[in-house]
């Protein structure tokens, strides 16, 4: 699963990553290199949950309020 944050929220991405890591959820911050050149718009920071078995736990830890401020993309089954 990946979560997309608004482009200005780099500090927020790091905060969420730290919270998930402390709960034992492996995740990584990635940057989409293609998005950098699209229409001159800065790419959204991406936080990837590496183990699909941790998705539900991660969503619960992040909470509804924070989730409403980002885009969540789930993997294909």
Sorted by sequence, the CB contacts under 8 Å of residue 65 that are 6+ apart come out as none
Domains in the chain, number: 1
Hey, which residues does 49 pair with through a beta bridge?
Answer: 27
Range of the domain at 25: 2-73
Question: Do 17 and 29 form a contact (C-beta atoms < 8 A)?
Answer: yes
Global confidence as pTM: 0.76
Torsion of CA 56, 62, 65, 71, to 10 degrees: -70
pLDDT digits (tens, 9 = 90+) for 13-37: 888 899 999 999 999 888 766 655 5
Cα separation, 52 vs 10, whole angstroms: 23
CATH number, residue 54: 3.30.70
pLDDT digits (tens, 9 = 90+) for 36-48: 556 666 677 888 8
């Amino acid at each position: 699963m990946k979560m997309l944050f608004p482009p200005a929220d780099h500090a927020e991405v790091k905060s969420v990553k730290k919270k998930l890591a402390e709960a034992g959820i492996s995740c990584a911050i990635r940057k989409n290199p293609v998005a950098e050149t699209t229409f001159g718009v800065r790419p959204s920071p991406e936080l990837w949950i590496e183990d699909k078995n941790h998705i539900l736990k991660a969503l619960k830890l992040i909470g509804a309020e924070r989730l409403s401020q980002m885009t969540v993309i789930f993997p294909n089954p």
